[in-house]
Amino acid sequence: MHGDLDAIERVGVVGAGTMGSGIAQVAATAGYDVVLRDIDPDLVEEGLDRIDDSLGRLVNRGDMTEADAEAARDRIDGTTDLDDLGSCDIGIEAVVEDIEIKQDLFSSLDDLVDEDTYLATNTSTLSITSIASATDRSERVVGLHFMNPVPIMDGVEVVVGEKTSEATAELAHTFAEDLGKETWEADDKPGFVTNRILIPWINEGIRAFDEGVASKEDIDRGMTLGTNVPMGPLELADHIGLDVALHASETLHEELGDRYTPAYLLKRKVAAGDLGKKTGEGFYEYD
């Protein structure tokens, strides 16, 4: 698929968390000027620090030269002012998975940016069509669902809303490919391809552990060796964040019914505050 990238020089990213900072990093590495925005200066600084650390690891591994890393970092400007995205050619949203927050943001961006600017959402479960409905440019709104961690993972899911134009979808594929990613396309149905299949897999792995089918280590080992995935369901849940997995499961359960019912043990872990790698303990313990 081919879209005209000549129209894109400056990329705006809203949300400087794990996903947003990763998207900003890969866009800057690909040569785009990037504006990274969050609501609080400390959050912006944390996002920029996360990018510095990630680029440093790539340099240390020999995957990037120090000069290229410095050049990429120099292309990224952090801000708390949404108006700074006014000159961007594509705006990519990577804020919390809350439909009202996303709709409010897209409505503000729609008023702010040029009428030719494309808007994309990194949502993993919410409706592209519903998000786009907050704008007067639904044909230029598309899902760009990056995989975590963004600088490492090769895939981007392009999600087409009810009114997303074919030209916008093609440009989304081409833009992601220009960032060094491979793409696949999904219709705007709950969970798209990845989470529609992944979330039940994680839940069933948790249930198997809770019901004594095998130890957590053997469940993960059985899935990695038996299906050639790099990580089993329990370890993957820890890496995603158990709260994130639960939220996705609850969203899909609401949309698609009982087969997406969250595992009881997943809910109990989240209630206890054991959210996985980011808190130091989930199904496994981490330093």
Residues of the binding site for NAD(+):
15-20, 38, 97, 102, 124, 148, 278
DSSP 280: T
Q: Which one of 157, 235, 247, 249 is the catalytic residue?
A: 157
Neighbouring residues of 10: CB distance < 8 A, sequence distance ≥ 6 = 32, 33, 34, 35, 87, 88, 89
The question of whether 157 is a catalytic residue gets the answer yes
Q: Which one of 124, 127, 203, 249 is the catalytic residue?
A: 124
One-letter amino acid for residue 203 of the chain: N
Residue ranges for the known binding site are 15-20, 38, 97, 102, 124, 148, 278
CB 36 within 8 A of CB 47: yes
Q: Which one of 21, 122, 195, 249 is the catalytic residue?
A: 195
3-state helix, strand, coil in the chain (%, to 5): 50, 15, 35
The question of whether 124 is a catalytic residue gets the answer yes
CB 221 within 8 A of CB 232: yes
Which token pair is 136? Answer: 């007067």
Q: Which one of 138, 145, 235, 249 is the catalytic residue?
A: 145
Please give the distance of CA 87 from its chain centroid, rounded to a whole number.
23
The question of whether 195 is a catalytic residue gets the answer yes
Active site residue ranges: 124, 145, 157, 195
